[in-house]
Amino acid sequence: MATQKNINDLIHETSPYLLQHANNPVSWKAWNKTTLNRAKKEQKLMIVSIGYAACHWCHVMEHESFEDATVATVMNANYISVKVDREERPDVDQTYINAVQLMTGSAGWPLNVVTLPDGRPVWGGTYFKREDWIQALKQIQELYKSEPEKLIAYANRLEEGIKNLDLIQINTEEIDFNDFPVKEIVENWTEKFDAKEGGFKGAPKFMMPNNLQFLLRFAVDNNNKQLLDFVTLTLDKMAFGGIYDQIRGGFSRYSTDEKWHVPHFEKMLYDNAQLVSLYSKAFLVTKNTLYKEVVAETLDFIAANLTNDEGGFYAALDADSKTENGNLKEGAFYIYAPEELQVVLKDDFEIFKEYYNINSYGKWENDTYVLIRKKTDFEIITEFNLTPELLSKKKKNWKNILLAHRNKRNKPRLDDKTLTSWNALMLKGYIDAYKAFGNQEYYDAALKNATFISEKQLSKNGALFHTYKNGKSSINGFLEDYAFTIEAFIALYEITLNDKWLLQAKKIADFAIENFFDEDKQMFYFTSKQDPAIITRSFEYRDNVIPASNSVMAHNLFKLSKYFEITDYQSISKQMLKNVLIEINQYPSGFSNWLNLILNFKNNFYEVVVVGKNAEEIVTKFNKNYLPNILIAGSTIKKSEPLFKNRYVEDETLIYVCQNNTCNLPENNTENAINLINKKQ
């Protein structure tokens, strides 16, 4: 029987990353049942090549290899080649990144794996040069032809390794979280802090917002000035760095050096979402106007570049953009030569040069510069004999001039797919910004996005879709979609007091328990039981640049247990936390969101219930304080739900500060109630 013709099928996809490869001579297929069944039927090896639209080295390998006719001939002759957008299919990505990690000791993107016809991996790595790629594929195909049993035996061993990677052992011991050594863990962790530049030692340097969220809370809880200084040093250095777009706002994914100077220039929604939350919370603690500026500029960037008409958020801007010669170059959109700056800024160039280090400190390559700050506004004001008002005016003028100048360049490519999980993170960012700054535009953007998720991505039974593009919702949601959406909807309830969002959060949680929860292990799988496993169903429980979906679910169930008085929710949350305790000591940066949850169990956690006609006004006052150890419920009318029962008093607005359903006497003074919560442990 004749095999199917070699045709590149990616032209039918919607993912910008897949579409970037739609004109390659490689006969790419998408990851789907048809492709997988074809591999089994024809007994061909598969190449699974994984990346994402904003990935610089993915573009390099595409240009060097996948656009090359000779490479395509080798791939098309003997393999079924599958292109995967890791952001669309994080389940596929995680399976094969685990495999490459086991095979080589490290992994990243582009991720390239050769598998047996059944999808089990036998070889892989990241970026390959053209000749190395060709040679490897020829050797593997020859081995498959001459001694297939060797590849099958290796696949069997690797399969066992993959299955053992995320084995969860249920912890049946009695645990008293009051005795858990959080303080000692933080003290040991400080050895990895970069005391000069902030963040964590070494390069490349990732921002790790959930690490900093925990450390901020722990510092405030314990009046630890040294730790708070480290957190604020990190936030200051990141905001001063080239990793932050000094002209438009918004952060790149990471810096390639230790001083936050030269970024890997892609701008990801998930980074900016979490950093908006982090800087908003840090502002509540410090009242540092730099943090307010960072949040405002970043949200301006999100609104202008990553927001669609429906209120959804796009995924990313590419690291690469075209130069004047039409060649793709990393960072081309963001870098400057001194001569062009002199031309556009004229007499202001001398001050600008000092402010943004157009000197040896700010130099990148080929006599171009990535803008980076070293001095505070006060130091610049003093040095150039300016008033604060004049410097502020100059900064605004510089940014307007350079933004207009930069916008004449070719813009970075946009990844315009919409991911539910990342949208929920951005929704939470807008909510946290609204709490801190009271800007109505932030409130409106949050409500519009929540409505978008609710109407486009959420089914009546609580099921979520993962992606949205061109008016179509697709791909069953993963645990990250459920976890972050529940978290965001609970947060939205706390500023709107609209029961709709809390009830939707509960419905989504109940669906997740039904379809993702493992009763034996007491943890949530990353994929639903409605979807076929890729080698095995895995648990995502280690926090990374994004908190683990299991740690977020544990937080959600902790809160929902108190809103609805469902003890099973809290029991699950507590057991999940117990299951990961053994690893926390060894790797705290991979469990910072779990450490945050430990503080909820270890220290006082309050339910704040506000009932009466002024409830919304009082809740707004609460939200302007840094209070990570509370949940808020409020109503302007009489209600019978557990937190509100028998608490409404005609013509009064009362504040109930409770712990485990035991309340202090009601307060009508907001400051007194806040002071009660702020009493140190």
Provide the Cα torsion 129, 133, 136, 139; round to 10°: -130
DSSP 8-state class, residue 331: T
Would you call the peptide bond into 181 cis, given omega within 30 degrees of 0 as the criterion?
A: no
Question: Which residues touch 367 (CB under 8 Å, ≥6 apart)?
Answer: 337, 338
Percentage of residues in the chain having pLDDT higher than 70: 99
99: its two tokens: 């495999």
Residue 171 within any structural domain of the chain: no
Asked if 18 and 103 sit in the same domain, the reply is yes
At 6, the pLDDT band (50, 70, 90 cuts) reads: low
pLDDT of 502-559, one tens digit each?
999 999 999 999 999 999 999 999 999 999 988 889 999 999 999 999 999 999 999 9
Q: Which residue has the tokens 């939350």?
A: 277
Tell me what pLDDT residue 129 has. 96
Residue 69 within any structural domain of the chain: yes
Tell me what pLDDT residue 168 has. 85
pLDDT at 680 over 60: no
Task: Read off the CATH number of the domain in which 112 is found.
Answer: 3.40.30.10
The Cα angle at residue 541 between residues 119 and 282, in degrees rounded to 5: 130
How far apart are alpha carbons 612 and 615 in whole angstroms?
A: 5
pLDDT of 96-155, one tens digit each?
999 999 999 989 999 999 999 999 999 999 999 999 999 999 999 999 999 999 999 999
How far apart are alpha carbons 245 and 241 in whole angstroms?
A: 8
Nearest residue to 444 (alpha-carbon basis) of 433, 457, 458: 433
Tell me what pLDDT residue 127 has. 95
Strands 254-255 and 205-206: antiparallel
How far apart are alpha carbons 630 and 486 in whole angstroms?
A: 17
646: its two tokens: 């028998």
3-class state of residue 321 by DSSP? strand
Final residue belonging to a domain, choices 574, 602, 630: 602
* Dihedral sign, Cα of residue 121, residue 123, residue 125, residue 129: negative
How far apart are alpha carbons 596 and 186 in whole angstroms?
A: 12
The b-or-e profile of 437-454 (16+ CB within 10 A means b, else e) is: bebeebbebbbebbebbe
* Dihedral sign, Cα of residue 353, residue 354, residue 355, residue 356: positive
Asked if 434 and 528 sit in the same domain, the reply is yes
How far apart are alpha carbons 362 and 341 in whole angstroms?
A: 14
Asked if 442 and 541 sit in the same domain, the reply is yes
Q: Give the pTM.
A: 0.95
Residue 576 within any structural domain of the chain: yes
Asked if 228 and 369 sit in the same domain, the reply is no
pLDDT of 65-87, one tens digit each?
999 999 999 999 999 999 999 99
Nearest residue to 16 (alpha-carbon basis) of 412, 488, 587: 412
Residue 325 within any structural domain of the chain: no
Residue 222 within any structural domain of the chain: yes
Asked if 502 and 562 sit in the same domain, the reply is yes
pLDDT at 327 over 90: no
Would you call the peptide bond into 588 cis, given omega within 30 degrees of 0 as the criterion?
A: no
Q: How many CB atoms lie within 10 A of CB 559?
A: 24
Q: Are residues 597 and 577 in contact, defined by beta-carbon separation less than 8 angstroms?
A: yes
Task: Read off the CATH number of the domain in which 441 is found.
Answer: 1.50.10.10
DSSP 8-state class, residue 534: B
pLDDT mean over 291-298: 98
**Through-space distance between the first and last CA atoms of the chain, rounded to whole angstroms:** 75
pLDDT mean over 341-354: 96
Tell me what pLDDT residue 602 has. 93
How far apart are alpha carbons 568 and 513 in whole angstroms?
A: 11
Residue 141 within any structural domain of the chain: yes
pLDDT of 394-450, one tens digit each?
999 999 999 999 999 999 999 999 999 999 999 999 999 999 999 999 999 999 999
pLDDT mean over 594-623: 96
Asked if 310 and 430 sit in the same domain, the reply is yes
DSSP 8-state class, residue 642: T
Residue 502 within any structural domain of the chain: yes
pLDDT at 647 over 80: yes
pLDDT mean over 593-613: 96
Tell me what pLDDT residue 5 has. 56
Q: Are residues 367 and 337 in contact, defined by beta-carbon separation less than 8 angstroms?
A: yes
pLDDT of 146-189, one tens digit each?
999 999 999 999 999 988 877 788 899 999 999 999 999 999 99
* Per-chain mean pLDDT for the chain: 95
Beta bridge partners of 181: none
Asked if 467 and 553 sit in the same domain, the reply is yes
pLDDT mean over 599-626: 95
Asked if 85 and 134 sit in the same domain, the reply is yes
Asked if 523 and 558 sit in the same domain, the reply is yes
Q: Are residues 591 and 462 in contact, defined by beta-carbon separation less than 8 angstroms?
A: no
Residue 327 within any structural domain of the chain: no
- What is the domain extent for residue 378? 334-409
How far apart are alpha carbons 591 and 597 in whole angstroms?
A: 10
The b-or-e profile of 179-204 (16+ CB within 10 A means b, else e) is: ebebeebbeebeeebbeebbbbeebe
Final residue belonging to a domain, choices 392, 409, 426: 409
Least confident of 5-19, 346-360, 547-561: 5-19
CA of 572: how far to CAs of 461, 490, 507, 513, in Å? 22, 18, 16, 10
pLDDT mean over 630-636: 96
For 149, counting Cβ atoms within 10 Å of its Cβ (0-12 exposed, 13-18 middle, 19+ buried), the class is exposed
CA of 379: how far to CAs of 44, 384, 389, in Å? 66, 9, 14
Asked if 398 and 481 sit in the same domain, the reply is no
Type and span of the H or E element at 586: none
The total number of structural domains that make up the chain: 4
Final residue belonging to a domain, choices 115, 131, 165: 165
Asked if 375 and 462 sit in the same domain, the reply is no
Asked if 610 and 547 sit in the same domain, the reply is no
Q: Give 52-83 as a 3 state SS string.
A: CCCCHHHHHHHHHHHCCHHHHHHHHHHEEEEE
3-class state of residue 644 by DSSP? coil
Q: What are the start-end ranges of the E strands in 97-239?
A: 111-115, 121-125, 205-206
pLDDT at 681 over 50: no
pLDDT at 4 over 80: no
34: its two tokens: 């048809």
pLDDT of 216-253, one tens digit each?
999 999 999 999 999 999 999 999 999 999 999 999 99
Tell me what pLDDT residue 669 has. 92
